[in-house]
């Protein structure tokens, strides 16, 4: 389950006034949920036995197979992570020193359906594998991409300067650009990032 979770993208979700990043993976054997507010990271991994036990405690009037519960949970969570939660589904969360509880209220077969995800603090190894390492890898990839684009812009400027020295002129003056200044670009970019962060 956790290896399958690695391939799932993070999604931004809101519960009340709190924003979280979350990812989830459902299988016939259970589910695993990872959720973070970028200060803490919580997770829950539940097999079919745990799902069956909790479903009996929370939904005494419902008698359906565990696979149906898992399928229904998947159908509730996936639209939420896609930014399109169902109109009849309500999500809320409660943070405590021991972890985070995500409460779900919906319907199944015309009856009220309740679910609680009991999330505990994620181990450091899991945080590193799902959050830190992908962020560092993406940051390095973006840095390489920026350097390649800067190099390409400088080459284009040299090419344009060569055309100008050869007597070429622009047919439309609005297409004229100033030579690219890497230092000025970096300073302006950092100023925008700092302004956005504040």
Question: CB-based burial of residue 168 (10 Å sphere; 0-12 exposed, 13-18 middle, 19+ buried)?
Answer: exposed
Instruction: Note the pLDDT of residue 182.
Output: 87
For residue 94, which of 32, 24, 37, 11 has the smallest C-alpha distance?
Answer: 37
Question: How much is the pTM?
Answer: 0.76
Report residue 166 as tokens.
């050869």
pLDDT per position as a tens digit, 32-83: 999 999 899 999 999 999 999 999 999 888 888 889 889 999 999 999 999 8
Instruction: Note the pLDDT of residue 177.
Output: 84
For residue 79, which of 16, 4, 22, 7 has the smallest C-alpha distance?
Answer: 22
Instruction: Note the pLDDT of residue 197.
Output: 61
Q: Which domains does the chain have, with CATH numbers?
A: 1-122 (2.170.210.10), 128-196 (1.10.287.450)
Round to whole Å and give the CA distance between 21 and 134: 14
**Do 44 and 119 contact (CB within 8 A), yes or no?**
yes
């Amino acid at each position: 389950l956790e290896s399958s979770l690695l391939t799932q993208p993070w999604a931004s979700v809101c519960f009340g006034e709190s924003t979280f990043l979350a990812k989830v993976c459902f299988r016939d054997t259970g589910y695993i949920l990872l959720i973070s507010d970028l200060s803490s990271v919580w997770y829950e991994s539940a097999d079919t036995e745990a799902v069956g036990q909790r479903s009996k405690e929370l939904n005494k009037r419902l008698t359906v197979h565990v696979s149906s519960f898992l399928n229904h949970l998947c159908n509730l969570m996936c639209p939420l992570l896609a930014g399109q939660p169902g109109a009849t589904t309500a999500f809320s969360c409660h943070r405590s020193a021991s972890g985070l509880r995500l409460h779900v209220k919906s319907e199944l077969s015309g009856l009220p359906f309740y679910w609680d995800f009991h999330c505990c603090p994620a181990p450091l190894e899991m945080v590193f594998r799902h959050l830190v390492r992908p962020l560092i890898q993406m940051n390095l990839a973006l840095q390489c991409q920026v350097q390649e684009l800067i190099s390409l812009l400088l080459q284009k400027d040299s090419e344009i300067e060569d055309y100008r020295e050869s007597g070429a002129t622009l047919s439309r003056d609005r297409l004229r650009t100033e030579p690219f200044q890497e230092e000025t670009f970096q300073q302006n970019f950092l100023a925008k990032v700092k302004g956005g962060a504040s």
